[in-house]
């Protein structure tokens, strides 16, 4: 594509998007918009009046107290805005695609020369516009804080930018679930669950890292914080002015946050586009390439954040640094448990839906990016290796990241992925229906990973992280849980998982041979 | 030109379309006949690139539906058996949306919208909301939507279902006009009287198989190699019947109270000769006609009523 064609297409997609124009006409028509804005403004004004009356009830207040009170008010307004965005953005977006699917107008759109990307961006613009309208409507309230001395304009603008970026992330999450869901209720529920998990997870990481940094930088460089803290929804006023030092430069965190948000949104849009695209689409290939690149970059990013904690003796409140194998274990738990959300989509096959899900063999590295079932295992293994490669790259600056335990944990991670994948294959071989196979696969993974936890905790309450022999040795994620060296356990559990996985694949193959899928091998 | 080559669709153990093939030329109005569940909609959705075939393919003006679906979409107009209209959208806004996504240049868009509204007789409804239109008007609006980019092929799935007789007649006239404009039109229906009037080609489908394909007349002739003559006489039916049995080209004779039905293999000359013989023999003939089979007869003869 030539540069001028690319510019024309981009302008058409982002500025003259037909979907956004149509939704804009509909959104501002009728009473719904007026009622929504009226309720929103009433809540904001009510909140402002309550705060004002509580401050005014005090007969005497020093200037310092008054300013602190104003700052608190400003902070509370922003938290209210964050909460409103977290509530409104998924609600507005979650039904965007699924409602069209139910109304069957999606078929009309996709019988026209429209790419999923174009359509999803249009929907995203429609929903994101509402987020900005909410923010703009709240400006008089925050402007009052500026006028009265509770905040300065630069803070207000940075905070608004951060809240709008969060709104963008929520919108992209909800849009992704809207492409997957079959019913609006499912889309709304999953969107809120994902937004809740995101807020909880990011806030946890942000606060943890900010706290750790605060202790390790007691010299007074409190403005320096990992940019992840800016992704947290309810710390906006505390983190708006923070920065990250990169190669000696103070880079404002809102810039890094914007970069992260855009990359995240791109990944979500690609995932949604891939879900709406047929076999062999570039959207799917792009999604897989992006996933590998993001896994690599995320690994580098997290390792660079945690790296100093591994070496700095004062990095923990206990005064002892985090050990490398502990770090590897925690990282593995996060990686492998997160993977169970996507494993059924990557692994399972069925002949009832589109061609991209039809069985086409067991392992074919050439189909890794095409996202057909035979490309599932190569992709999963590549994902684990991309994370490992990120660590290796980071070890150039932090050599202690890589140790004797690394090969064992890598072996365990690959074996776990192989075994989990083989479960999905077997679930598919038992059924003709893809959705049933995915549900079964997900249910088995959840059962294997989470059901044993309370039972094992009852059997041996203190054995989970102990290095000695325990009933916990039977648990599949045991090597990642051990507080001391879990290398031996990682090799052992990894080998068991490989054997189990191979047996399941053998079983799946023998079942698949008995079935006539009715698909022409020569097709395509 | 549309060429369908061994198109097949399988859903697990169920084969919805079993390797059908046919070809259509510009100006052909093709009636796709079949019971519910015969595979008509599946075939149309495959041609509209909304469903991937399990086997086979189709080409439109040389472009393969599998290799270049985007190019195919620029050449087709697809009207499903549901409206898929948006609420709170005006008629012109609805058409403007589709004209934009079909990349109709912005300078031409308003003119195109006016033209398709005129063609579908909806000009007076241009500024009305789509939900305020009657069912027949909504159907015509859907057809107008299919026409904004001047497609080569129109895929109309059950276009007249739920319409009143007047709206149905108007739609039939509109589809016939589109055929005269040189477009290939595929119309699916299980209401045969809908199709007989304006389709020049039909295909009969059952359980995923295309049982018959071709011009309406040749299919009827193919199904009925002999003529069926019905004669009414004032005199003795049995006497007339015995005379007829001895005539040339007569294969079989059945009698009723006041009429005789003849299975006849002769041409028009032979028919005239038969009539002259009866009159000369003194029979008072008050009716002599050839009973013509219609699509419904052909359909009932060909199909068994089985569904997938």
More confident residue, A211 or A180: A180
Instruction: Give how far the C-alpha of residue A395 lies from the chain's centroid of Cα atoms, to the nearest Å.
Output: 25
Least confident residue range of A27-31, A33-37, A308-312, A394-398? A308-312
Best residue in B5, B6, B10, B12 for a mutation probing chain A (most A CBs within 10 Å): B12
Tell me the shortest Cα–Cα distance from A38 to chain B, in angstroms. 21
Q: A392: left (phi > 0), else alpha (psi -120 to 50), else beta?
A: alpha
Phi, psi of B230 (to 5 degrees): -120, 125
- pLDDT for A483: 64
Q: Is A9 on the interface with B (CB under 8 A)?
A: no
Closest among B58, B39, B38 to B48, alpha carbons compared = B58
Cα–Cα distance for residue pair A336/A414, rounded to 1 Å: 10
More confident residue, B71 or B196: B71
Describe chain A by its helix, strand, coil percentages, rounded to 5: 75, 0, 25
- pLDDT for B139: 87
Closest among B45, B48, B83, B90 to B162, alpha carbons compared = B83
Structure tokens that stand for B262 in this block:
């003849």
Helix (H) or strand (E) holding B89: none
Best residue in A8, A12, A15, A22 for a mutation probing chain B (most B CBs within 10 Å): A22
Secondary structure (3-state) at B301: helix
Nearest CA in chain B to A20: B97
- pLDDT for A161: 93
- pLDDT for B305: 66
- pLDDT for B264: 87
Nearest CA in chain B to A279: B52
Confidence of residue A497 (pLDDT cuts 50, 70, 90): very high
Cα–Cα distance for residue pair A157/A160, rounded to 1 Å: 5
Residue where the block lists tokens 């108007």:
B170
Closest among B187, B161, B153 to B49, alpha carbons compared = B153
Cα–Cα distance for residue pair A54/A72, rounded to 1 Å: 12
- pLDDT for A73: 83
Is A480 within 8 Å of A333 (Cβ atoms)?
yes
Phi, psi of B219 (to 5 degrees): -65, -45
Most confident of A71-80, A104-113, A404-413: A104-113
Is A109–B101 a contact, with Cβ atoms under 8 angstroms apart? yes
Task: Give percent of chain B with pLDDT exceeding 70.
Answer: 97
- pLDDT for A435: 86
Task: State how far the alpha carbon of B177 is from the alpha carbons of A19, B164, B184, in Å.
Answer: 32, 20, 11
- pLDDT for A166: 93
Closest among B295, B296, B278, B297 to B287, alpha carbons compared = B278
- pLDDT for A210: 65
Q: How many residues does chain A have?
A: 524
Is B56 within 8 Å of B228 (Cβ atoms)?
no
Best residue in A97, A102, A113, A523 for a mutation probing chain B (most B CBs within 10 Å): A113
Confidence of residue A315 (pLDDT cuts 50, 70, 90): very low
Is B84–A105 a contact, with Cβ atoms under 8 angstroms apart? yes
Q: Is A103 on the interface with B (CB under 8 A)?
A: yes
- pLDDT for A312: 45
What is the residue-wise DSSP string for A458-497? HH-TT-SS-SS--GGGGSTTHHHH-SS--HHHHHHHHHHH
Nearest CA in chain B to A30: B88
* Sequence-separated contacts (24+) of A255-260 with Cβ below 8 Å: A256/A227, A256/A230, A257/A162, A257/A165, A257/A227, A257/A230, A257/A231, A258/A161, A258/A165, A260/A227, A260/A231
Q: What is the mean pLDDT of residues A385-397?
A: 87
Helix (H) or strand (E) holding A266: helix A253-276
Cα–Cα distance for residue pair A279/A87, rounded to 1 Å: 35
**Residue B6: exposure state from Cβ atoms within 10 A (0-12, 13-18, ≥19):** middle
pLDDT digits 0-9 by tens, A266-302:
999 999 999 998 888 889 999 999 999 999 998 888 7
Task: State how far the alpha carbon of A128 is from the alpha carbons of A33, A97, A134, A186, A313, in Å.
Answer: 15, 15, 10, 21, 45
Name, in order, each residue with C-beta under 8 angstroms of B72's C-beta and a sequence gap of 6 or more.
B49, B60, B63, B64, B65
Cα first-last separation, chain B:
30
- pLDDT for A66: 74
Cα–Cα distance for residue pair A121/A21, rounded to 1 Å: 12
Nearest CA in chain B to A13: B101
- pLDDT for A318: 46
Is B86–A105 a contact, with Cβ atoms under 8 angstroms apart? yes
- pLDDT for A250: 86
Name, in order, each residue with C-beta under 8 angstroms of B24's C-beta and a sequence gap of 6 or more.
B1, B2, B30, B184, B186, B201
Residues of A in contact with B8 (CB under 8 A): 520
- pLDDT for A314: 44
Confidence of residue A98 (pLDDT cuts 50, 70, 90): very high
Structure tokens that stand for A287 in this block:
């999604």
Cα–Cα distance for residue pair A181/A49, rounded to 1 Å: 41
Interface of A with B in 413-442 (CB under 8 A): 432-433
Instruction: Give how far the C-alpha of residue A466 lies from the chain's centroid of Cα atoms, to the nearest Å.
Output: 31
Q: A280: left (phi > 0), else alpha (psi -120 to 50), else beta?
A: left
Q: What is the mean pLDDT of residues A179-196?
A: 92
Secondary structure (3-state) at A60: coil
Q: Is A31 on the interface with B (CB under 8 A)?
A: no
- pLDDT for A221: 55
Confidence of residue B185 (pLDDT cuts 50, 70, 90): very high
Best residue in B41, B63, B80, B100 for a mutation probing chain A (most A CBs within 10 Å): B100
Closest among A345, A226, A209 to A287, alpha carbons compared = A345
Helices and strands in chain B: count of H runs, count of E runs: 11, 14
- pLDDT for A416: 93
Residues of B in contact with A21 (CB under 8 A): 97, 100
More confident residue, A391 or A417: A417
Q: Mean pLDDT in chain B? A: 88
Q: To the nearest 10°, report the CA torsion of A287, A289, A295, A301.
A: -110
| pLDDT of B301 above 80 | no
Tell me the shortest Cα–Cα distance from B44 to chain A, in angstroms. 11
Q: To the nearest 10°, report the CA torsion of B30, B36, B37, B41.
A: 40
Chain B residues whose C-beta is within 8 A of a chain A C-beta are 8, 10-13, 15, 45, 48-50, 52, 54-55, 66, 69-71, 73-74, 76, 78, 80, 82, 84-89, 93, 96-98, 100-103, 145
Phi, psi of A179 (to 5 degrees): -70, -30
More confident residue, A71 or A380: A380
ipTM of the complex: 0.81
More confident residue, A166 or B166: A166
Structure tokens that stand for A388 in this block:
């490992």
- pLDDT for A486: 74
Most confident of A198-202, A290-294, A464-468, B232-236: A290-294
**pTM check: above 0.90:** no
- Residue A7 CB neighbour total at 10 angstroms: 11
- pLDDT for A218: 47
Angle between helices A116-148 and A18-27 (to 10 degrees): 50
Cα first-last separation, chain A:
26
Tell me B38's DSSP state: S
Cross-chain CB nearest to B98 (options A26, A112, A524):
A112
Nearest CA in chain B to A101: B84
| pLDDT of B107 above 60 | yes
Cα–Cα distance for residue pair A33/A288, rounded to 1 Å: 39
pLDDT digits 0-9 by tens, B137-149:
898 899 999 999 9
Tell me A523's DSSP state: -
| pLDDT of A313 above 80 | no
Alpha helices in A149-226 (DSSP H): 153-180, 184-216
- pLDDT for A447: 93
């Amino acid at each position: 594509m030539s540069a001028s064609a690319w510019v024309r297409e981009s302008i058409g997609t982002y500025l003259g998007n037909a979907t956004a124009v149509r939704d804009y006409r509909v959104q501002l028509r009728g009473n719904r918009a007026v009622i929504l804005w009226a309720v929103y403004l009433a809540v904001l004004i009510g909140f402002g009046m309550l705060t004002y009356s509580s401050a005014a009830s005090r007969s005497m207040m020093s200037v310092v107290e008054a300013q602190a009170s104003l700052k608190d008010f400003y902070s509370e307004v922003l938290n209210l805005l964050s909460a409103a965005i977290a509530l409104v953005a998924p609600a507005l977006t979650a039904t965007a695609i699924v409602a069209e699917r139910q109304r069957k107008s999606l078929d009309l759109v996709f019988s026209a020369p429209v790419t999923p990307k174009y359509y999803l961006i249009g929907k995203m613009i429609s929903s994101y516009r509402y987020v900005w309208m909410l923010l703009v409507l709240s400006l008089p309230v925050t402007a009052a804080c500026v006028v009265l001395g509770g905040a300065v304009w630069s803070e207000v603008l940075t905070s608004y930018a951060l809240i709008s970026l969060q709104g963008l992330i929520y919108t992209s999450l909800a849009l992704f679930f809207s492409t997957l869901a079959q019913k609006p209720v499912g889309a709304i529920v999953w969107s809120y669950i994902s937004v809740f998990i995101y807020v909880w997870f990011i806030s946890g990481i942000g606060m943890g890292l900010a706290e750790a940094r605060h202790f390790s930088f007691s010299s007074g460089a409190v403005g320096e914080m990992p940019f992840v803290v800016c992704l947290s929804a309810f710390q906006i006023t505390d983190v708006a002015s923070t920065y990250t030092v990169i190669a000696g430069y103070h880079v404002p965190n809102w810039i890094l946050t914007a970069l992260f948000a855009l990359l995240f949104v791109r990944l979500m849009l690609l995932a949604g586009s891939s879900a709406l695209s047929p076999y062999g689409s570039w959207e799917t290939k792009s999604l897989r390439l992006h996933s590998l690149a993001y896994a690599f970059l995320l690994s580098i990013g997290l390792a660079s954040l945690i790296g100093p904690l591994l070496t700095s003796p004062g990095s923990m409140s206990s005064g002892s640094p985090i050990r490398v194998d502990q770090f590897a274990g925690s990282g593995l738990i996060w990686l492998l448990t997160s993977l169970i959300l996507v494993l059924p989509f990557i692994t399972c096959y069925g002949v009832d839906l589109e061609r991209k899900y039809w069985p086409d063999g067991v392992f074919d590295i050439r189909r890794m990016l095409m996202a057909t079932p035979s490309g599932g295992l190569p992709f999963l293994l590549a994902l684990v290796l991309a994370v490992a490669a990120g660590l290796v790259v980071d070890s150039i600056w932090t050599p202690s990241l890589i140790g004797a335990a690394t090969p064992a944990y890598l072996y365990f991670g690959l074996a776990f992925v192989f075994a989990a994948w083989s479960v999905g294959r077997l679930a598919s071989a038992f059924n003709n229906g893809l959705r049933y196979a995915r549900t079964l696969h997900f249910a088995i993974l959840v059962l294997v990973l989470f059901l044993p936890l309370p039972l094992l905790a009852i059997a041996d309450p203190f054995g989970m992280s102990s290095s000695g022999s325990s009933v916990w040795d039977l648990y599949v994620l045991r090597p990642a849980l051990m507080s001391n060296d879990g290398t031996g356990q990682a090799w052992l559990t990894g080998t068991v998982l490989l054997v189990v996985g191979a047996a399941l694949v053998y079983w799946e193959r023998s079942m698949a041979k008995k079935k006539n899928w009715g698909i022409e091998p020569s097709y395509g | 030109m549309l060429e369908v080559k061994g198109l097949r669709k399988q859903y697990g153990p169920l084969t919805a379309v079993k390797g059908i093939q046919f070809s259509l030329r510009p100006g052909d109005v093709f009636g796709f006949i079949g019971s519910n569940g015969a595979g008509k909609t599946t075939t149309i959705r495959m041609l509209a690139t909304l469903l991937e075939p399990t086997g086979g393919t189709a080409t439109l003006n040389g472009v393969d539906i599998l290799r270049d679906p985007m190019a195919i979409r620029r050449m087709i107009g697809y009207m499903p058996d549901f409206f898929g209209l948006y609420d709170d959208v005006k008629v012109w806004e609805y058409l403007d949306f589709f004209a934009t996504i079909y990349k109709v240049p912005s300078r031409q868009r308003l003119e195109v919208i006016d033209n398709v509204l005129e063609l579908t007789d909806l000009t007076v409804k241009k500024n009305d909301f789509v939900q305020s239109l009657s069912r027949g008007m909504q159907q015509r609006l859907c057809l107008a939507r299919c026409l904004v980019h001047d497609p080569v092929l129109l895929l109309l799935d059950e276009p007249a279902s739920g319409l009143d007789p007047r709206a149905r007649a108007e739609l039939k006239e509109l589809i016939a006009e589109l055929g005269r404009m040189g477009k290939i039109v595929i119309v699916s229906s299980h209401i045969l009287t809908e199709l007989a009037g304006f389709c020049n080609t039909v295909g009969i489908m059952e359980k995923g198989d295309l049982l018959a394909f071709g011009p309406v007349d040749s299919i009827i002739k193919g199904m009925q190699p002999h003529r069926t003559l019905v004669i009414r006489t004032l005199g003795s039916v049995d006497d007339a019947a015995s005379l007829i049995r001895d005539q040339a080209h007569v294969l079989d004779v059945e009698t009723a109270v006041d009429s005789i039905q003849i299975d006849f293999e002769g041409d028009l000359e032979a028919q005239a000769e038969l009539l002259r013989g009866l009159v000369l023999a003194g029979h008072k003939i008050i009716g002599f006609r050839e009973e013509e089979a219609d699509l419904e007869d052909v359909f009932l003869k060909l199909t068994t009523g089985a569904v997938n």
